[in-house]
Chain A
Amino acid sequence: MFLRGLRLILLASPLSLHASEPAVHEFLLDNGLKLLVQEDHRAPAVVSQVWYKVGASYEHGGITGVSHMLEHMMFKGTEKHPPGEFSRIIAANGGRENAFTGQDYTAYFQTLEKTRLPISFELEADRMRNLKLIEPEFAKEHQVVLEERRLRTDDQPRAKMQEHFDSVAYSNSPYKNPVIGWPDDVAGLTLADLKKWYTLWYAPNNATLVVVGDVNPDEVYKQAKKFFGPLKRSDLPPIKARGEVEQLGPRRMTIKLPAKLPYLVMGYKTPALKTTSDEAEAYALEVAAGVLDGGNSARLPSRLVRGQQVAASAGASYDLYSRLGNLFALEGTPAQGKTLADLEKSLSEEIRRLRDEPISAEELQRVKAQVLASHVYQLDSMFYQAMQLGTTETVGLGWRKVREYVDKVNAVTADRVQTIARKYLIDDRLTVAHLEPLPLPEGAPAPEERPTGGDHVR
């Protein structure tokens, strides 16, 4: 009853939201550094991020993890600032800072009270060209990164499974390698590997500086020129194509490792916005992921978790902004008494429905309503805004793509979703992995199971 009234409201809303779109100011320094500034005057704070066009997907065999290791070493000093001083200066200025490495980027950020922005610029400009990579610091940080790998991957059954899954789903795409690197590669990294990597990629003409906050764009440009302007540009290596070869049939794997619950991961090879010849395909895949997993009313929670009760949890995802072709991914945990096979069957059935039946007008409208609203919610986070600009610019799409998002999603039709499902969400493009838990050895009970135990296999 209330739905009919609502649809009218939804159709009326896009215009009113567009009015609040903040402007992005783009500048290019002579040395090739691109600067993007977005104003947000709600609080006297600023986010500053430096994005380098290098990440795990730029790496070759034997040195996987080098981008991430280098990210760690970027805090270990320059001629001007000894190890650790970067962090101390930022801290003394009330700032928060960190860095992250992905398949397609390595990025460094600070959030600060707005008047401290030049401090961030001075330090980032310094380490862009003048990093001092030295042995004692490397030896210690190498151990830290090995601990990070143990923490995040080796001791996490699902993370470990994901790593094995990616290595099978992709034949030759560099996305087959983990961002943190394979164990032997990480252990074998040398200072020479890092120096080479730093020299190759860390240059103003391979970076984007993104600033969002209570700032004046022209003033930011002036400061950027002052600190980053004197840096020399580099001759960057050409980026060669490393397109994934065509998959010639479904792939299946079983992963056995100590765990308490089974787990399922499925992935269909799909193009990204950057790699498709028809961008509308990518936005249709985005909507398909929303129909499956965009909120509690979406198909997976509604039908698989609550309806059939075949999943304790289930999800779907698609990454619009990756540099190379990616996976439309599904994952889930079977409900009590259900098997991985049961869950796989149900997830496959949901994919079949996307292929065989057009999504309902109501569902499509709901996905669009959520996209519109979350666009406003995202504006609440300066950090998120900077992330979006940085990501799209760094993968080569250009930041303007972020501004097209709402309109492009709004243009997606049910027919289009069905077409891309038929084209991409098919068995020949599928990889499936089952995590079959091995018993955790004796003497390792979870505390809550100590009194009764009994029904758990160990």
Chain B
Amino acid sequence: MSVKLRWFILLLLLNAAPAWAIPQIEHWTTARGGRVYFVPTEGLPLIDVRLVFDAGSARDGAKFGLASLTSGMLDTGAGALDADAIAQRLENVGAMLSSGVSRDSAYVALRSLTHPEKLAVALETVTEVLAHPRFDPKDFDREKNRTLLAIKQRGEDPGDIAEIAFMKILYGDHPYAHPPEGLKETVEALSRADLVDFHKRTYTVRNGIVVIVGDVKRPEAESIAENLLSALPDGEPQPPLPEPVAKPTAETVQTPFPSEQTHVFAGELGMKVNDPDYFPLYVGNHILGGSGLVSRVMEEVREKRGFAYSAYSYFFPLRETGPFQLGLQTKNAQAEEALQVAIKTVRDFIENGPSEQALEAAKKNIVGGFVLRLDSNQKLTGEVASVAFYNRPLDYLDTFTQKVQAVTKEDIKRAFKARIDPNRLQTVLVGGGAK
């Protein structure tokens, strides 16, 4: 055997040896009903812990901005600690704490080294932040004012204005309609008592999940989850959200704005996270406008015509039906033309579906690139949190690529026809090209 050949075989063996398996999610429920999802990882002495509560802006009621301000105030004082003390405790051990809200959920995320003493300090601090936020009146006034300024600043960005108008026209009075950070008048009306009440009702054991991904063993994960939840009340899961109702006819909102570009959105209600048509719609949209430079929308709007830097379509699945959104920005004079090109692209796609070749290419991209969604502790934490929060099956990540492979051209055509009616698109234009 030649030296070269021996090398080759050795390399093959080396490459083949540690066959990679999709990380397995371990799941258990604590005595008090807390749902925990754990993936042990190796290689780096770090851990990501994420708690996700059904406490997003869809739970604001009429008090738009309530969930967001509640989340933003968690680390401004808790128990015996003020904001400085919380930050110092965490930063002394190099831990990073963040929190935030989306329409469906509120999260509190901790990243820490696994060094036992450091991790203990970090976890202890986060436990306080979760369970005993002070909502001190002085902090409350300050954070509210900061939120009001951020809301004001949205008014200088045509993209932000368009996004807010788009969700409003799509969702009307549904809890998904308003921006998570709220509106000027609703935030002004918020009181400290509103936040205290919201926190008490939604940051509870049975209204959330715990995700732990990192270089710790199962018993440690169990005790971490137990401790984090220890000071939270049992609570109750939030009631289901109402189903959004689709607009029966197409509508257009135009807002003139002194910008060089016009931001254009068009869309309608799309799909839920646990939608039976999730895979045909996801794979189909990947071809239509979800795959960056090689998508059809990008091809027509940017590559063929040079109309826009960014052009896309996507489904944004939520617990209840989330939006299907087509978007681009272009110089004012050609806003209408660019919009028509994008809509025609959608129309053609719904009419004819993808070619077999395009479907094959999309599957190769999604399946071949699946590992890239899981190749860091941080990304893995995000994927697991999504599986956990939305109660997806535990083998969701394992079966994902099979389900993508199973999608046919006919599935895509049928699903798109059933969901997207190009004659009912809700359209928003903001910019110098709006009339």
Contacts and interface: CB of A to CB of B under 8 A. Distances in A.
Interface in A28-74: 40-45
Interface stretch (A140-148, A196-204, A236-244, A425-433): A140-148
Q: Which of B92, B93, B302 lies at the interface centre, i.e. has the most chain A CB atoms within 10 A of its CB? A: B92
B279 interface: no
B306 A140 contact: yes
A373 B95 contact: yes
A444 interface: yes
B41 A42 contact: yes
A10 B92 contact: yes
B151 A448 contact: yes
A452 B184 contact: yes
Interface of A: 2-3, 5-6, 9-10, 13, 16-17, 20, 40-45, 75, 83-84, 87-88, 91-96, 111-113, 115-116, 139-148, 150-151, 154-157, 216, 219, 258-261, 294-297, 301-302, 305-306, 309, 312-313, 333, 335-336, 365-366, 369-370, 372-374, 376-377, 379-382, 437, 440-441, 443-449, 451-452, 456
Given A373-B93, A380-B44, A444-B255, A9 B117 contact: yes
B149 A258 contact: no
A440 B371 contact: no
B304 A440 contact: no
A356 to B, nearest CB: 22
Nearest to A41: B18
B199 to A, nearest CB: 20
Given A44-B20, A45-B372, A380-B376, A296 B44 contact: no
A452 B148 CA distance: 14
Interface in B124-142: 139, 142
23 contacts: A9-B118, A42-B376, A43-B20, A84-B293, A88-B294, A92-B368, A94-B364, A94-B366, A94-B370, A111-B369, A113-B368, A140-B305, A148-B309, A150-B261, A296-B87, A296-B90, A297-B90, A312-B146, A336-B149, A372-B94, A376-B46, A380-B378, A451-B185
A16 B257 contact: no
Contacts of B168: 447
A369 B94 contact: yes
B306 A139 contact: yes
B107 to A, nearest CB: 17
Contacts of B330: 147
Nearest to A148: B309
Max chain A C-beta neighbours (<10 A), residue from B255, B376, B378:
B376
Contacts, number: 260
Kindly list the 5 A-B residue pairs having the minimum CB-CB distance in the complex, ordered from nearest.
Answer: A94-B368, A373-B94, A446-B155, A143-B306, A297-B87
Interface in B170-198: 179, 183-185
Given A10-B92, A369-B94, 10 more contacts: A2-B89, A42-B41, A43-B371, A155-B259, A301-B87, A440-B156, A444-B256, A447-B164, A448-B154, A448-B184
A44 B179 CA distance: 39
B365 A91 contact: yes
A369 B255 contact: no
B92 A452 contact: no
Contact of A296 (B83, B153, B376): B83
Contact of B377 (A45, A87, A157, A380): A380
Interface string B364-391: 1111111110111110000000000000
Contacts of A156: 157
Contacts of A451: 185
Contacts of A369: 91-94
B92 A43 contact: no
A113 B371 contact: yes
A301 B155 CA distance: 25
B88 interface: yes
A335 B146 contact: yes
B146 A87 contact: no
B307 interface: yes
A249 B338 CA distance: 49
Nearest to A290: B91
A380 B374 CA distance: 11
B303 interface: yes
B30 interface: no
Contacts of B118: 9, 13
Interface string B283-320: 00000000111100001001111111110000000000
Interface in B32-66: 41-46
Interface of B: 11, 14-15, 18, 20, 41-46, 75-76, 83-84, 86-96, 111-113, 115, 117-118, 121, 139, 142, 145-146, 148-158, 161, 164-165, 168, 179, 183-185, 255-261, 291-294, 299, 302-310, 329-331, 361, 364-372, 374-378
B87 to A, nearest CB: 3
B92 A6 contact: yes
Contacts of A312: 145-146, 149-150
A336 B329 contact: no
B93 A447 contact: no
B294 A141 contact: no
A180 to B, nearest CB: 11
A261 B83 CA distance: 26
Given A297-B84, A297-B87, A335-B146, A382 B376 contact: yes
Contacts of A41: 18, 43
B298 to A, nearest CB: 10
Nearest to A152: B309
Nearest to A213: B375
B112 to A, nearest CB: 8
Contact of B306 (A111, A144, A302, A443): A144
Given A91-B361, A261-B156, A381-B378, A376 B45 contact: yes
Given A143-B307, A374-B94, A377-B46, A336 B261 contact: no
A87 B302 CA distance: 14
A96 B303 contact: no
A145 B306 CA distance: 9
Contacts of B93: 6, 9-10, 369, 373
B154 A45 contact: no
A306 B330 CA distance: 40
A423 to B, nearest CB: 27
B369 A94 contact: yes
B115 A9 contact: yes
Contacts of B377: 380
Nearest to A155: B259
Contacts of A83: 303
A306 B153 CA distance: 20
The interface centre, meaning the residue of A88, A296, A381 with most chain B CB atoms within 10 A of its CB, is A296
Given A20-B45, A150-B260, A216-B15, A335 B306 contact: no
Contact of B115 (A13, A150, A449): A13
A247 B369 CA distance: 51
Contacts of A449: 155, 184
Given A6-B121, A42-B43, A260-B152, A113 B258 contact: no
Contact of A261 (B149, B364, B369, B378): B149
Nearest to B10: A216
Contacts of A295: 87, 90-91, 96
A254 to B, nearest CB: 18
B258 A96 contact: no
Nearest to A455: B184
Contacts of B20: 43-44
Given A43-B375, A449-B155, A91 B43 contact: no
Contacts of B92: 3, 6, 10, 365-366, 369
Nearest to B308: A147
A65 to B, nearest CB: 14
B91 A140 contact: no
Contacts of B299: 84
Contacts of A43: 20, 371, 374-376
